[in-house]
Amino acid sequence: MSTSALDAMPLGKVMPHFELEEVVAQKKVSSATLKEIFTKGIVVIFLCNHCPYVKHLLEGIVDMAEAFLPQGIGFVGISANDPADYPDDGPEGLREMAAAHEIPFPILFDETQEVARSFEATCTPDFFIFDASSRLAYHGRFDGSTHKNGMAVTGEDLKQALQAVLQGVPPRVSSLSLGCSIKWKRTPWIKR
């Protein structure tokens, strides 16, 4: 079932801190470390392995990262889906996805889903760009293409936003992301 992202995190908000396990190297990666390495900005992408919206855009996302990583923009993917219900979205499935697509940036697993909640992320894929001062400059879609509408994958919206961040100007407003809803863990009933 598709859903639109919520526009809940206001522009200008400082990037929430996170420290999560990277699924390939199986070591912790933190937002603080990423900020030290990538001084011009960071793209945080909520994604997963099973979502057809992510699969449709993944090659374009990899190409975009390869174009902007040398310019000092960092990329990181975070999967927060409950692997109990979606095993492909657990660390092993994410490792396979990273290898199969030669993803050039870390893929992190948000087991507790606390990081996704701190970003107020709601769907996959969902794109957040933080500028050189770690403030939210853009929250929106990659482009208008989906696996259902037949439009070409161009990355037009994200590319324009990244170019604006590199120039130190605000990106133009974009449409919100459309994708699969994040698969939240079920809350057990509390007996009273």
pLDDT (0 to 100) of residue 190: 46
| Res. 13 pLDDT band, cuts 50 70 90 | very high
CB atoms within 10 A of CB 98: 19
Kindly state the percentage of the chain with pLDDT values over 90. 86
What DSSP string describes 86-101?
-GGGSHHHHHHHHHHT
Q: Which domains does the chain have, with CATH numbers?
A: 2-181 (3.40.30.10)
Q: What is the pTM of this model?
A: 0.93
Provide the pLDDT confidence category of residue 186 given band limits of 50, 70 and 90.
confident
Give the integer Cα–Cα distance in Å for 183 and 31: 23
Distance, in Å, from the CA atom of 105 to the CA atom of 103, rounded to the nearest integer, reads 6
Distance CA 189, CA 192 (A): 9
136-154 tens-digit pLDDT: 999 999 999 999 988 999 9
- Give CA angle at 55 (166, 178), nearest 5°: 65
